[in-house]
Structure 1
């Protein structure tokens, strides 16, 4: 469940001073950098906030109407920066650290994916008024947050075989994938009746705006959603039925593209869910066969105690015995120097051609069932291989189970990690600064 570097770069929107095409509005120099927020023992500077806001606006160039008023946007971006600070602090407290060498590799990867070099990236950032060290720190923070999510997933997320079986059956019945977007009106853990009523009223109000056509869904998500992906229009990407909350799954199959359902109460609050489009996923669930071979081999090692010439002479003698009628397994048990297979008469079980490297695969493919190869050389030494049998194996089911297990895990991680972030935010001391006025809050403000 790791994130690729192209995705990494895109996710730096709200925590760094650069976006995917490296286009950003340079900020005017300020004589004194003020504090925008205090987050436990850390701070967010006003310059950090303004750079992040500039990135969001650059991403919405030509679609500015979808953005909320500046004061609301500022608060949304500030909340995202707060969550980054809290996650980085928790990660560091858990012993998660990103070393300088790993960070440099990540920076080089980002530069390459933008068709550039690290030096050229540094120059481009300087041209746009962006401090290279600030950007480097943002990349470190993003990788650190990824590591925290991975650690969280490993310690708290598990998927049973029964869950995979149920999801596969559901997939077979439906066979579709759904492109979704959502709007979340978050509720704190142990929400009071008043907080629930307020959340319901807000969710109903957003739904009414959508029904009247006064606001499109993406714009409503940017303005009103409390989800971490609000500034991306609430886009959830493509999901299979097993990735859709149970409260929505049955309804989703009856919906048409463009329809919106909700609000429905879920673990994190009230949700509105939009079906953007549907596609047939049956091709992805199709079978995929590979050729597998049952084989045995005999190895004569080349090492300090045995020269290449001596090993070659020995393997030639062993092959002559096999071709002359001596049982291959008997010769392997007596003379093979592969300790892992020697006791089994050189038996390697069933394997695809490339399992033991290209040289081994070429020999296996080049003989018939029952045949014995000519001696051939690998890094380990000299071999002969006997091909016992051949079969076609459907690996589609294994791949499909692995994919389903991963998608269920992603769904669980999303739900659990969002709750974890709410807890993290609720426990933190956060003080927003506006001019000379400070606003203390222990929970995320509502849009």
Structure 2
């Protein structure tokens, strides 16, 4: 399972990890702003090694001293029981150092994870350069966050760590025990999480707050998306998965492969796919005949989409290997993909036009007196002895008083829950009993109701989100590059 994890300050979203991956998660949590090293390897050539800049300080700080002065923002190696182990300065980033051991550990962890997920890696020198560049950028971002006064208090940090532990289905103490068992101190883990939150807050201030999407951009996107959808398809799929056990031996993998091959052979000779899935598949959808529904091939892993595009409806793929196991997919049917506008379900919501009178308890009027007065108002209005709007203007104690208590057209959720619940029981023209809310005591009258289709608003909102994420990716890359370019970087050891 991938350990290239994403964490936000407003929420932590971490997929469930095997316990032996917790250390790796900690090591890589700070990779969000700098980007995934594997993604860099796949999308652009390696950056050349930076040349030494200005003259180095007369004496570079010893790694231990630097670590004491400022906590490391990258992977912190476990405390060694061997006092003779000597680390060396690998690169200086402004006034901090990244040690050779930190680099070696990061490279080793990424290599191990890539092999487990069968991801492609560049050659060793290129990978090392990319890892170092990522660590430099991360370090420079943390330094900038501290310079700008970005802070993460212990309460926020404790909550974040609590959410991480909850995501791993363990208590904080259990997670701490596992982390320390695998050689990483819990203090180092906390510091890495703190640094990630600091970085994300910095990104929100420096990048996210400046992103804007115009209505014209949304119009252009929707038009292009509609045109592109004409040439795109979606596929109705089913699958059979022969899962590979965790930490499987070569013999176990071979046995599972043989099982998948036998299933494929039977399918080629006419066996029913649904029955085979129910009998042999380890996937959750096995009892549904392996059905996984309609999917866009562009949203599937490349190893699947490549094979599926070769098929006609009713055909099955050969056995496909992933880090999860051995898959056989069936292409049940193909249909043109609808555009976002076509896919948008009609979203009809009911709006309520209402008005109210609100009064508060005061030293001169207790709760019983407030309730009695509101009920008197209701009785006079219903007896046509008084007008709702006039009483609201004279007696209501809120900002709607000047409008005769008219709150306008309300969508669900626009007002406090107590008023909303009261309005649901009223017919147009009816007045509620006394309703208590956090603001005071009310009587509310429903004037009229109408239904409105908001699917267009939903469609435009989705388009805005896509465009914002697209702009964010570009802006984040540019910003990260600027941070890296402004940093004083000096390599102190040949790679």
Band the TM-score falls in, shorter-chain normalisation: 0.5 to 0.7
Which SS does the other structure have where 2:184 is aligned? coil
Which SS does the other structure have where 2:413 is aligned? helix
Q: Structure 2 vs 1, CA of residues 381 and 19 (structure 1 numbering), >3 Å: closer, same or farther?
A: closer
> Which residue number in structure 2 is paired with residue 368 of structure 1?
427
Contact residue 372 and residue 386 of structure 1 kept, 8 A? yes
1:39-438 equivalences in 2 (<5 Å): 39-63=93-117, 66-154=120-208, 156-175=210-229, 258=306, 280=338, 282=340, 285-325=344-384, 326-338=386-398, 340-434=399-493, 437=494
Question: How far has the Cα of 1:27 moved from its partner?
Answer: 7.0
Which SS does the other structure have where 1:290 is aligned? strand
Which SS does the other structure have where 1:373 is aligned? coil
Per-residue CA deviation, residues 29-77 of structure 1 (Å, 9 max, x unaligned), is 4622322321121111233323323432342344567333444333322
Which SS does the other structure have where 2:27 is aligned? coil
Q: Structure 2 vs 1, CA of residues 64 and 33 (structure 1 numbering), >3 Å: closer, same or farther?
A: farther
Match 2:27 to one of 17, 32, 51: 17
Contact residue 89 and residue 97 of structure 2 kept, 8 A? yes
Can you give the 5+ residue segments of structure 2 that lack an aligned partner in the other structure?
1-5, 31-74, 234-294, 299-303, 308-335
Contact residue 14 and residue 77 of structure 1 kept, 8 A? no
Question: How far has the Cα of 1:12 moved from its partner?
Answer: 10
Contact residue 159 and residue 408 of structure 1 kept, 8 A? yes
Contact residue 5 and residue 109 of structure 1 kept, 8 A? yes
Per-residue CA deviation, residues 213-266 of structure 1 (Å, 9 max, x unaligned), is xxxxxxxxxxxxxxxxxxxxxxxxx99x9xxxxxxxxxxxxxx9559xxxxxxx
Contact residue 16 and residue 52 of structure 1 kept, 8 A? no
Question: How far has the Cα of 1:126 moved from its partner?
Answer: 0.4
More strand by share: 1
Contact residue 36 and residue 433 of structure 1 kept, 8 A? yes
Q: Structure 2 vs 1, CA of residues 284 and 346 (structure 1 numbering), >3 Å: closer, same or farther?
A: same
Contact residue 125 and residue 132 of structure 1 kept, 8 A? yes
Q: Structure 2 vs 1, CA of residues 103 and 411 (structure 1 numbering), >3 Å: closer, same or farther?
A: same
CA RMSD of aligned residues (A): 3.7
Question: How far has the Cα of 1:145 moved from its partner?
Answer: 1.8
> Which residue number in structure 2 is paired with residue 5 of structure 1?
12
Which SS does the other structure have where 1:66 is aligned? coil
Contact residue 17 and residue 130 of structure 1 kept, 8 A? no
Distance 2:226 2:78 in 1: 53
Distance 2:382 2:352 in 1: 21
Q: Structure 2 vs 1, CA of residues 305 and 53 (structure 1 numbering), >3 Å: closer, same or farther?
A: farther
Distance 2:177 2:220 in 1: 53
Per-residue CA deviation, residues 276-314 of structure 1 (Å, 9 max, x unaligned), is xx9655375333121110000011212444211111111
Question: How far has the Cα of 1:382 moved from its partner?
Answer: 2.2
Contact residue 29 and residue 192 of structure 2 kept, 8 A? no
Distance 1:118 1:18 in 2: 19
Which SS does the other structure have where 1:291 is aligned? strand
TM score, norm. by length of structure 1:
0.67
Q: Structure 2 vs 1, CA of residues 164 and 394 (structure 1 numbering), >3 Å: closer, same or farther?
A: same
Distance 2:200 2:166 in 1: 21
Larger Rg computed on CA atoms: 2
Which SS does the other structure have where 1:145 is aligned? helix
Q: Structure 2 vs 1, CA of residues 71 and 357 (structure 1 numbering), >3 Å: closer, same or farther?
A: same
